[in-house]
Amino acid sequence: MHNVRKFSGLILAVAALGSGVTAQAQSTGMSSSNWAPAVGQRYIGLNGGSTDLRLGDNSTAYEIYAGGMWNKNFGLEVGLTDFGKINRPGNTVDASGFSIKAVGVVPLSESFSAFAKLGTMYTRTTVTSPSSVNKDNGWGATYGLGLNFDITKQFAAVLQWEQANMDLAGTSDHINTTSVGLKYRF
C-alpha cells in the first residue's frame, strides 16, 4: 500500500510538471524554432557518467533511454540504468534500475534547450559485505535536470544530473548521477 501511495503522488507531480511547463511556454509566447521537438517526435539516447552514493566511491553509470513528445514542451521517457559497483566502507553496492519519467523541455536559444525529468524507478540492489549478501528492490522517485545542444535536427548532445531514490538492504538512500550522452531523434 505504501508503494501505491508513493506512485500516486509521483503521478500527480508529473502531471503538475507537464501542465506547468506548457503554461510557461504559452505565457511567454515562445515560437516554434528549429530546435523545438515536433509533436509525436520520438528519440533514443545513451548517456555515460559518474555516480555518487553517500559514503561511497564514485562509479561509472550507463543509461539507455527512449521517449516521445506529446507536444513541443512535454513528453514521456523510459530507460534502463546500470549504476555500476560502488565501494563503501565495509560493503559494495551493485545497483540498476528501470525508469518511467515525464520530461519538460524549455528553449534557451535556437540550439540549446533545458529539460527537467520527474518520475519513478524500479531498482534492484545488491549490498555485499565480508559476512553477507543482501538484495533489495522496489520503486522510488527519480528526478533530474539537464541541457540539450542540438548538433543537427536529428542529433543532440546531452548533459544531465539525476537523483534516484532506492532501497539498500533495508535502508533507503539515493544515488546522484552526472552524465553526458548523445540523443537521436526520429
CATH number at residue 52: 2.40.160.20
The C-alpha cell 505504501 sits at 2
Domain count, the chain: 1
* Cell numbers that stand for 134 in this block: 543482501
CB-CB neighbours of 131 under 10 Å: 7
Q: Rounded to whole angstroms, how far apart are CA atoms 62 and 79? A: 10
Is 35 a domain residue? no
Exposed/middle/buried for 170, CB within 10 Å: 0-12, 13-18, 19+? exposed
Is 54 a domain residue? yes
Is 34 a domain residue? no
Is 70 a domain residue? yes
Is 74 a domain residue? yes
Which among 186, 184, 156 is positioned nearest to 45, based on CA atoms? 184
- What average pLDDT does range 18-27 have in this prediction? 41
Instruction: Tell how far CA 124 is from the center of its chain.
Output: 16
Is 85 a domain residue? yes
More confident residue, 3 or 42: 42
At residue 64 the predicted structure's pLDDT band, cuts being 50, 70 and 90, is very high
* Cell numbers that stand for 102 in this block: 515525464
pLDDT (0 to 100) of residue 49: 97
**Quick check: 111 and 78 in contact, CB under 8 A?**
no
Is 153 a domain residue? yes
- What average pLDDT does range 18-25 have in this prediction? 41
**Domain membership of residue 50 as a residue range:** 2-28+40-185
Which among 169, 161, 165, 164 is positioned nearest to 93, based on CA atoms? 169
Is 66 a domain residue? yes
With b for 16 or more beta-carbon neighbours within 10 A and e for fewer, the 48-62 pattern comes to ebebbbeebebbebb
Percent of the chain with pLDDT over 90: 63
pTM: 0.77
